[in-house]
Amino acid sequence: MNKVHEHKNEESIVFSILNSDGVIVNKAAEPKLNDSELRTLMKRMVFTRVWDERAIKLNRQGRLGLWAPVSGQEASMVGSEAALRKEDFILGSYRDIPQMVWHGYPLYQSFLYSKGHQHGGQIPEDVHVLMPQIIIGAQIIQTTGVAMGFKLRKQKNIAIAYIGDGGTSQGDFYEGINFAGVYKVPAIFFVQNNQYAISVPLEKQTAAESIAAKSAAAGIPGIQVDGMDVLAVYQVVKEAAERARNGEGPTLIEALTYRYGPHTMAGDNPSLYRTKEEEDEWKKKDPLIRFRSYLMNKGIWTEADEESARKEAEQAISDGLKKANETPKMTVPDLIDSMFE
């Protein structure tokens, strides 16, 4: 990995490629993506924003269960998944359903999962994800295990764990990255630092200068990246994946981002612990606005493209919801059969 990307204890270096105006500020690190690939990143971020807006409404109407809002985190989610191969394994938390869907998990099953239907967890054979981990931090241990399996089988696949800043205070986080570092397993530990674990701010989670700095104790590279910059996220994950595939071991990535909505739709009220001034400051860094400006300046995105992307997303979401609603209701015998099978 390029040394300038690695975290240095003496100062915090946040890797970025686009500034908040969508202008390239790190030309040497710009990923080699063609126009079609760049447009796909934008379409997926628009889709994820539309999906989040719809899911919040569905939850408030009582038509959807568990939902953890993701607006503000589209760049970290879409950019990181896009840098993976389909054979790589994703292990996330309850906020990481978008990455699962972009990795091949059917959208309608994500709605079933949110409704508590067991078919939501019946993952297709060719989709390499685990269901969202509800036990905070447990996916770190699981990721190390999956990656160890890849290493023992001499497969060139990697496992990536997604976790929030609060999850890094769990013992599983330290145990997992330590074991991964010792055995140089092909893993990426991707921390979406959205500044709050429910209502607990980052400064109450750790006295370390950053989460990326915690990599030093495990003997692995640690990188802080602008999580509102989809190109920067894509590049650091791509490089970390190459390191892992080449037998150089795991990487800890801290993506600095922000969730605009509540922690979940289960009663959290962010206005009780965040100021409007803080929220407005982060919204100036909005990942969609930033990347949209970049693409428009390149002449490969228009307002019509944006409208078309939103309409496609709205239709796909409606279709997925319809299919989920048409799925036969779960029965107690079905649940028992699945359990004992």
How far is the C-alpha of 225 from the C-alpha of 5, rounded, in Å? Answer: 9
Can 183 be counted among the known catalytic residues? Answer: no
Q: Which residues fall within 8 angstroms of residue 279, CB to CB, at 6 or more apart?
A: 258, 260, 270
Strand-strand pairing, 196-197 and 200-201: antiparallel
What is the 8-class DSSP label of residue 8? B
Can 259 be counted among the known catalytic residues? Answer: yes
Nearest to 194 by CA among 180, 205, 184, 207: 205
Concatenating the DSSP letter of every residue in 83-123 gives TS-TTSEEEEETT-HHHHHHTT--HHHHHHHHHT-GGGG--
Helix, strand or coil, per DSSP, at residue 202: helix
Nearest to 222 by CA among 212, 231, 232, 230: 212
Q: Which residues fall within 8 angstroms of residue 143, CB to CB, at 6 or more apart?
A: 89, 91, 159, 160, 161, 176, 180, 187, 189
What is the 8-class DSSP label of residue 222? E
Given the residues 263, 290, 292, 294, the one annotated as active site = 263
Concatenating the DSSP letter of every residue in 38-61 gives HHHHHHHHHHHHHHHHHHHHHHHT
Given the residues 5, 243, 259, 292, the one annotated as active site = 259
Two tokens at 303?
């307002």
Residue with tokens 């991964």: 180
Can 162 be counted among the known catalytic residues? Answer: no
Question: Which residues are annotated as catalytic?
Answer: 259, 263, 273
